[in-house]
Amino acid sequence: MGFLEILFSAGTLSQILTGLSRTTILFIVSSGLSLILGVLRIPNIAHGSLYMIGAFTAYSVISFLGGGTFAFFAAMVAAPLVVAAIGFVMERGFFSYLYDREHLMLLLLTFSFALILGDLVKIFWGTEFRSVEPPAFIQGSAEILGLPVPYYNLFLLAVGPFIAVFLWLVVNRTKIGKISRAAAVDAEMVSAVGINVGWVFAFTFVLGCFLAGLGGALIAPMTSVSLGMDHSLIMEAFLIVIMGGLGNVWGALLGSLIFGLSQSLGIMVWPQFGIVFPYLAVVVVLSFRPRGLLRSVW
Amino acid sequence: MKWKYAVPLVLLALLAALPQFLPRFHIYIIAIVLLTGLLATSLNLAIGFGGIYQFHHAVFYGVGAYGTALMLTRSGLPAPLCLVAGPIAAAALSLVMGIICVRLSKLYFGMLQISLGSLVWAIVYRWYSFTGGDNGIPGIPVPEWIASPEGAYYYILAVTAVCMYALHRIVRSPFGKALEGIRDNPVRSEAIGIHVRLHQLAALVIAGFFGGVAGSLFVVIDTSVFPDMMFWTYSLEVLVMCLLGGMYTFFGPLVGSSILVLLRTYVSVYIPYWHLFLGIVLTLLIIFLPDGVLGFAVRRFRPKEGRLA
């Protein structure tokens, strides 16, 4: 089969759709990470654990309510809120006292939280794999050019842009969003004009954690919910954020697109080494644009 | 002031005597402590003394181990050559990664480094026909003279001692001092004529080499390699060892890795949730003891000098 034939085949299209639905998840999680990095300057390794807790909470809510459309949407609201609450405790209880430490210390502190949260998930939910059914109205798959594409993937594709626009509105059109952007550039100056920077930081951190939880809840029906889902994701999210430009929401979107698509297309081109391609993409991007594709707030 | 060599020499003699009255399992654990200590000390050259955010150091440990393991299993070359090949491969990789990363600063450096390291990990993890993929390589034929547990132990003790001495000399040399200068004030160092990037690159290659030595030592004692050795979580664990012992002291990482390896071995027997335990210890450490156990001891008991020889 020639190169062009592969490029325009139905298989490629379905791979692109798979890649794009994964992009949505990556974007939601990494934009939260990016917000926290941009404003608070914390490289939050525990972000992946929060994502995992989001997925497990979604599982618990759905199985508690016995499945169905209502249970699904209840889980999509409850899981991010639970994760946001954990984030609030983390920020107010620990990070807010340690902002003057160097990045390395903060990184290790979030690593210790990742370890603690990972084991707490093991204590609460055990080590078995869990699976979540998507609600009835988005079960099954559509047929596109003769290949089945799960409706749930299409649902995610529709959700993605909403989140992007919502985030843009929060960051650019609300007062707290504007203050948080100012705090990202110069926190001292912001506090000098009489704004309580501590609460701006808390708000940003909680919003970032909310997004981690939402990403986890949304991915629950797509994969098996299990321990260890945090490890691969947090690395991917970090690389996306670095590739896109620290603290830039659109950068996170662009980075997620590159990452998700290079992953799904890479698997098609060279199944054995498909997982290598996203890392390769990051190396290429950073070799040419060391500070990320879009302008970083740092 | 020759007496400052007394403590390391007594310790060395003690360690050399251990196999006479300790069971095999403990000998194995102490060998792991030693090589992990070397790994953490090599990382500390870059991160503690150089101030370079080497986030994915375990990749050099892994490449050193895989290099040695592959040479021993697949090439017919004499064993000493194979044992050196791993560290040289690690140093070469460190040079390549260093050239790509070194123009970036701090967090960006760390992230590009972690990305390149993950690339290496992904290749090792998937290349079943060459590296054994996620199974790793079990049952590596170690040469006879270090095949017995005692032989392996003495080999590891000797190599670790020599490498620690070499690293100590490097840290105390004008090169080491220049590196510390760069860590504390890169702009000023540049102004007085130090080639910042070149010094950092050299530090990275040296750190990568000794990380690779630690990897090849692991092959000798464990006779197996697996990709988890170079997964990024392990890199952070090594970083924790440096922090635990004290990053601005030479022997801190050795102390930190001893504490961590021994805790893991003996505590995880009683507590099933080792990560929870480690996380709590680490959190308390960061809040109350940010310059590590040894750093704290130095500050507490030797307020004048401030730094351990």
Q: What is the pLDDT of residue A7?
A: 63
**Both tokens of residue A62?**
């759905």
Helices (H), chain B: 6-17, 24-44, 58-74, 79-101, 106-126, 128-131, 149-172, 174-184, 186-191, 196-222, 232-245, 252-267, 274-288, 292-301
**Domain presence at residue A256:** no
Q: Which of A119, A123, A259, A270 is the best mutation test for B, with the most CBs of B within 10 A?
A: A119
Count how many domains chain A has: 1
**Both tokens of residue B300?**
């507490």
- pLDDT tens-digit readout, B113-142: 888 898 899 889 888 888 888 888 888 888
Decide if pLDDT at B22 tops 90: no
Between A123, A276, A290, which is nearest B108 by CB?
Answer: A290
Where chain A has pLDDT below 50, the residues are 1
Structural domain of A138: 28-228
Mean pLDDT, all residues of chain B: 87
A282 interaction partners in chain B (CB closer than 8 Å): 112, 115
Residue B167: what residue type? L
Closest CA to A138 of A76, A198, A183: A76
Cβ within 8 Å, pair A119-B275: yes
Cβ within 8 Å, pair A108-B286: yes
Decide if pLDDT at B230 tops 60: yes
B128 interaction partners in chain A (CB closer than 8 Å): 272
Closest CA to A93 of A67, A66, A113: A113
Mean pLDDT lowest among A154-168, B158-172, B211-225, B283-297: B283-297
Cβ within 8 Å, pair A108-B123: no
Distance from CA of A207 to the nearest CA of B (A): 23
Decide if pLDDT at B241 tops 60: yes
- As a whole number, mean pLDDT of residues B64-73 equals 92
Phi, psi of A295 (to 5 degrees): -65, 130
Decide if pLDDT at B306 tops 50: no
A279 interaction partners in chain B (CB closer than 8 Å): 115-116, 118-119, 122
Phi, psi of A149 (to 5 degrees): -125, 120
**Both tokens of residue A260?**
């998700």
Q: How far apart are CA B9 and CA A31, in angstroms?
A: 53
Spatial contact of B102 and B96, defined as CB atoms under 8 Å apart = no
Q: How far apart are CA B183 and CA B205, in angstroms?
A: 17
- As a whole number, mean pLDDT of residues B25-29 equals 88
Q: How far apart are CA B254 and CA B40, in angstroms?
A: 7
Question: How many helices, marked H, and strands, marked E, lie in chain A?
Answer: 12, 2
ipTM, 2 dp:
0.83
Q: How far apart are CA A210 and CA A231, in angstroms?
A: 19
**Both tokens of residue B215?**
């990897």
Determine the residue of chain B that is closest to A99 in CA distance: B287
Q: How far apart are CA A264 and CA A277, in angstroms?
A: 9
Q: How far apart are CA A152 and CA A137, in angstroms?
A: 9
Distance between the two ends of chain B, CA-based, in angstroms?
11
**Domain presence at residue A285:** no
Beta carbons within 10 angstroms of residue A3's beta carbon? 8
Q: What is the pLDDT of residue B271?
A: 81
B56 interaction partners in chain A (CB closer than 8 Å): none
**Coarse DSSP helix, strand, coil percentages of chain A, rounded to the nearest 5 percent:** 75, 5, 20
Spatial contact of B166 and B139, defined as CB atoms under 8 Å apart = no
Partnered with residue A141 across adjacent β-strands are: A150
A to B CB pairs, distance under 8 Å = 113
Cβ within 8 Å, pair B115-A273: no
Q: How far apart are CA B200 and CA A115, in angstroms?
A: 31
Task: Collapse the DSSP code of B272 into the 3-class scheme (helix H, G, I; strand E, B; otherwise coil) and give the result.
Answer: coil
Taking each helix axis from N to C end, the angle separating B292-301 and B252-267, rounded to the nearest 10 degrees, works out to 130
Q: What is the pLDDT of residue B138?
A: 87
Decide if pLDDT at B5 tops 80: no
Model confidence band, residue B290 (pLDDT cutoffs 50, 70, 90) = confident
Q: What is the pLDDT of residue B216?
A: 94
Q: What is the pLDDT of residue A8?
A: 65
Model confidence band, residue B172 (pLDDT cutoffs 50, 70, 90) = very high
Cβ within 8 Å, pair A115-B275: yes
B114 interaction partners in chain A (CB closer than 8 Å): 235, 238-239
Distance between the two ends of chain A, CA-based, in angstroms?
47
Q: What is the pLDDT of residue A88?
A: 95
Question: B192 vs A56, B105, B172, B187, B306, CA distance in Å?
Answer: 56, 20, 20, 9, 25
Rg of chain A, C-alpha, whole Å = 19
A242 interaction partners in chain B (CB closer than 8 Å): 108, 111-112, 115
**Domain presence at residue A142:** yes
Spatial contact of B231 and B61, defined as CB atoms under 8 Å apart = no
Phi, psi of B138 (to 5 degrees): -90, 160
Question: B230 vs A29, A157, B263, CA distance in Å?
Answer: 25, 35, 21
Count the alpha carbons within 13 Å of B170 in the hemisphere toward its beta carbon: 23
**Domain presence at residue A53:** yes
Residues in chain B: 309
- pLDDT tens-digit readout, B243-255: 888 888 899 999 9
Closest CA to B59 of B39, B32, B82, B38: B39
**Domain presence at residue A109:** yes
Q: What is the pLDDT of residue A2?
A: 58
- As a whole number, mean pLDDT of residues B80-98 equals 93
Q: What is the pLDDT of residue A80?
A: 95
Spatial contact of B163 and B210, defined as CB atoms under 8 Å apart = yes
**Domain presence at residue A8:** no
Distance from CA of A243 to the nearest CA of B (A): 9
Beta carbons within 10 angstroms of residue A182's beta carbon? 17
Decide if pLDDT at B309 tops 50: no
A113 interaction partners in chain B (CB closer than 8 Å): 279, 283
The DSSP symbol for B269 reads T
Between A103, A113, A273, which is nearest B279 by CB?
Answer: A113
Higher pLDDT, A185 or B56: B56
Partnered with residue B225 across adjacent β-strands are: B137
Decide if pLDDT at B308 tops 50: no
